[in-house]
């Protein structure tokens, strides 16, 4: 594997899940695979889980790890071509990327959407520049439009908690947030759920329709209560307007409707559903304290499975070097 951005990059999903179970049973099984290989993790944005879990995954495989926080100590980078660099940006990404490629064997990239130019964000410009100019295999640690390591960990978690149930009902619900957030997590979650053997429903206020390239074939239900009925898993997440129906609204907060916050009453509409969220989460906005603290909450197991999803992905990249 030379690039990891979409569910299709893993090939057979059942085989990937089997590999995840194997790694979980013995996470050090391949601890010499990465000997004398270096992972460079490049962060353009903050992180807790991705940083720790991906570094741990690399260590499980015996790799060396370098972490670069672009906004803390590195030269400020220009990402656009054709600009006159007379401002505060000292280095262009198009030189920085091949230089980074000199010092490592694999590169992980975190680079959020700017949420002002839909075309630029959805072209995954920064990720593809790394793909093209680094000369090294690259993988997404949440990019402008996708977060596949999270979605893979979420799917592992759902499989582990499905209790043999065939085609569990999984609901992705929008919930309010004070700031405009990217669509990367819901995009990837939808893409991975559509590839998995689950009954998948998306619910959100009108205007928040996700890009069809991730949701094609999914059931969209604007009535949150109807969507929750019979659900086995509730996956809450905020996202800003994807600009599908009104491109001029791309990246805007269209609603702060607190009736969408997942509370005990919402959960009572479900089939004793498990609660999921990728974290970090705003309590009182996305979910109430009692729901996230309940024994049915899976937010910590999901975070724990980030180590497993990252180990599988890095293992496959190393095996293809």
Fill in the DSSP letter of residue 295. T
Residue 281 CB, nearest approach to ligand CP (Å): 9
Residues 161 and 201 sit within 8 Å (Cβ to Cβ): no
Closer to ligand CP by CB, 106 or 149: give it: 149
Among 124, 142, 209, 307, binds ligand CP (CB under 6 A): 142
Residue 46 CB, nearest approach to ligand CP (Å): 7
Segment contacting ligand CP by CB under 6 A, of 42-50, 85-93, 172-180, 268-276: 42-50
Among 48, 66, 83, 99, binds ligand CP (CB under 6 A): 48
Residue in 68, 257, 62 with CA at minimum distance from that of residue 177: 257
Q: List binders of ligand CP among 180-239 (CB under 6 A).
A: none
What separation in angstroms does the CA of 277 have from each of 44, 79, 145? 22, 31, 17
Closer to ligand CP by CB, 55 or 224: give it: 55
What separation in angstroms does the CA of 17 have from each of 11, 58, 305? 11, 19, 12
Residue 307 CB, nearest approach to ligand CP (Å): 12
Segment contacting ligand CP by CB under 6 A, of 9-17, 31-39, 237-245, 277-285: 277-285
Among 6, 50, 134, 203, binds ligand CP (CB under 6 A): 50
Residue 48 CB, nearest approach to ligand CP (Å): 4
| Peptide bond just before 280 cis, omega within 30 deg | yes
Closer to ligand CP by CB, 50 or 134: give it: 50
Backbone angles phi, psi at 179, to 5 degrees: -115, 160
* Residue span 234-273 as binding mask against ligand CP, x where in contact by CB under 6 A, dash where not: ----------------------------------------
150 interacts with ligand CP by CB under 6 A: yes
CA 231 – CA 163 distance, rounded (Å): 14
* Residue span 155-184 as binding mask against ligand CP, x where in contact by CB under 6 A, dash where not: ------------------------------
Closer to ligand CP by CB, 30 or 109: give it: 109
Residue 145 CB, nearest approach to ligand CP (Å): 14
* DSSP string over 12-59: -HHHHHHHHHHHHH-TTTTTTTTTT-EEEEEESS--SHHHHHHHHHHH
Closer to ligand CP by CB, 278 or 286: give it: 278
Residues 144 and 174 sit within 8 Å (Cβ to Cβ): no
* DSSP string over 115-167: SS-HHHHHTTHHHHHHHHHS-S-EEESS-SS--HHHHHHHHHHHHHTSTT-SS
CA 307 – CA 20 distance, rounded (Å): 10
CA 91 – CA 197 distance, rounded (Å): 46
Backbone angles phi, psi at 314, to 5 degrees: -65, -40
49 interacts with ligand CP by CB under 6 A: yes
3 interacts with ligand CP by CB under 6 A: no
What tokens appear for 102 in the block? Answer: 């000199």
* Residue span 279-318 as binding mask against ligand CP, x where in contact by CB under 6 A, dash where not: xx--------------------------------------
* DSSP string over 231-264: -SEEEEE------SS-GGGTT------GGGSB-H
Residues 170 and 199 sit within 8 Å (Cβ to Cβ): yes
Residue 144 CB, nearest approach to ligand CP (Å): 14
Closer to ligand CP by CB, 27 or 51: give it: 51
- Residues forming the site for ligand CP (CB under 6 A): 47-50, 142, 150, 278-280
């Amino acid at each position: 594997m030379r690039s990891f951005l979409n569910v299709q990059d893993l090939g057979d999903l059942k085989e990937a899940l089997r590999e995840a179970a194997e790694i979980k049973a013995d996470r050090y099984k391949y601890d010499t695979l990465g000997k004398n290989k270096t992972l460079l993790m490049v962060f353009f944005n903050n992180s807790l889980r991705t940083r720790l879990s991906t570094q741990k995954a690399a260590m499980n495989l015996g790799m060396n790890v370098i972490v670069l926080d672009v906004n803390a100590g590195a030269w400020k980078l220009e990402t656009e071509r054709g600009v006159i660099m007379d401002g505060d940006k000292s280095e262009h990404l198009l030189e920085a990327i091949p230089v980074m490629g000199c010092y490592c064997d694999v590169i992980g990239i975190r680079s959020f959407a700017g949420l002002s130019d839909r075309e630029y964000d959805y072209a995954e410009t920064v990720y593809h520049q790394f793909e093209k100019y680094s000369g090294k295999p690259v993988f997404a640690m949440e990019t402008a439009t996708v977060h596949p390591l999270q979605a893979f960990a979420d799917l592992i978690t759902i499989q582990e908690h499905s209790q043999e149930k065939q085609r569990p009902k999984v609901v992705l619900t929008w919930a309010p947030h004070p700031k405009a957030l990217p669509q990367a997590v819901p995009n990837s979650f939808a893409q991975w759920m559509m590839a998995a053997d689950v009954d998948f429903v998306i619910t959100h206020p009108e205007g928040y329709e996700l890009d069809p390239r991730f949701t094609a074939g999914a059931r969209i239900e604007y009535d949150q209560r109807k969507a929750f009925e019979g659900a086995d898993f509730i996956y809450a997440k905020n996202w800003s307007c994807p600009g599908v129906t009104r491109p001029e609204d791309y990246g805007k907060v269209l609603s702060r409707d607190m009736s969408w916050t997942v509370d005990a009453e919402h959960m009572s509409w479900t089939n004793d559903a498990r609660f999921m969220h990728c974290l970090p989460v705003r309590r009182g906005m996305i979910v109430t304290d009692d729901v996230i603290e309940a024994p049915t909450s899976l937010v910590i197991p999901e975070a724990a499975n980030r180590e497993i999803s990252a180990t599988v992905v890095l293992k496959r990249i190393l095996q293809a070097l």
